[in-house]
Amino acid sequence: MSSKMEPFNKLRGIIATLRAPEGCAWDRKQTHKSLLPYLIEESYEVVEAVENENYDELREELGDLLCQIVFHCQLAEEAGKFNIDDSINDISAKLIHRHPHVFGEKKDLKPQEVRDQWEKIKMESGEKESVIGGIPKSAPALVKAFRFGEKAGGVGFDWKKPEEVFEKVKEEVGEIETALAENSREDLEEEIGDLLFVVSSLARKLEIDPERALNRSLQKFTMRFRHIEKRVKESGRKFGDFTLDELEAFWQEAKE
């Protein structure tokens, strides 16, 4: 393969060669479905690199993610469905259409105004039958909750201030207390779901990514709980030998 090829076309050529009859048995065996775990894994590794602010990792992981995208397009091209140029042309046209304030009549819009305009354009163009359509069913529930609120807010169905959402959070906590008192498992599940949904909306109104916020809390929990494990191991005793107050003391040590 020529070293003078443009990097993107070089990658396309490599994937095509791997898929060719004289290529690699593993690559020839792959399908869109079999590649999905790798696509998801690479996406999460990009997220991790961004969270760590590690540009060396980000450079590598974006390349790995791009490889998965090119691989899927190669499979589609072999099936006579579309090729990567079609995908690129589609997204280029979409970006121009959804940014009329840049590519049409110039307007100085705030980020939230751009987001609201984006949702309205999708509805007015007939691209979607529902404002809240287009969110993958397989997406994590917290991500879907955030996006549902974002999309509904884009057409005006939203709280105006974070303080209003916080009042709703307190209301949902009260409903959980009622369900606890009534010992209703079905109501508890519903009310806890409502609380999580409203908390995601509170995060959105405060311009906080709830998925990122939760991951940071999990990292903090991991660090502190490992300290507890370390102290238990050093003692030569088992977890069951400690009272909750003793374990809590180790937790406080970790916080300090």
**What architecture is domain 128-211?**
Orthogonal Bundle (1.10)
pLDDT in tens, 27-66: 999 999 999 999 999 999 998 999 889 999 999 999 999 9
What is the per-residue pLDDT for 134?
Answer: 77
List the one residue out of 156, 194, 157 whose CA is nearest residue 178: 194
Tell whether the model's pLDDT for residue 187 goes beyond 70: yes
Backbone angles phi, psi at 156, to 5 degrees: 95, -5
pLDDT confidence bin for 3, thresholds 50/70/90 = low
What is the per-residue pLDDT for 30?
Answer: 96
Contacts of 117 (CB under 8 A, 6+ apart): 98, 100, 101, 109
CATH 3.40.50.410 is the classification of domain 7-87: no
pTM, two decimal places: 0.64
pLDDT in tens, 197-252: 999 999 999 999 998 899 889 999 999 999 999 999 999 999 999 999 999 999 99
Q: What is the mean pLDDT of residues 183-193?
A: 93
Q: Do 60 and 54 form a contact (C-beta atoms < 8 A)?
A: no
Please, where in the chain does CATH 1.10.287.1080 lie? 7-87, 128-211
What is the per-residue pLDDT for 1?
Answer: 52
pLDDT in tens, 59-99: 999 999 999 999 999 999 999 999 999 999 999 999 999 89
Q: What is the dihedral of CA 21, 22, 25, 26, to 10 degrees?
A: -90
What is the per-residue pLDDT for 113?
Answer: 84
Query: Mind spelling out the 3-state secondary structure of 194-208?
Result: HHHHHHHHHHHHCCC
**Rounded CA gap, 201 and 222, in Å?**
26
Tell whether the model's pLDDT for residue 188 goes beyond 80: yes
What is the Cα gyration radius of the chain? 25
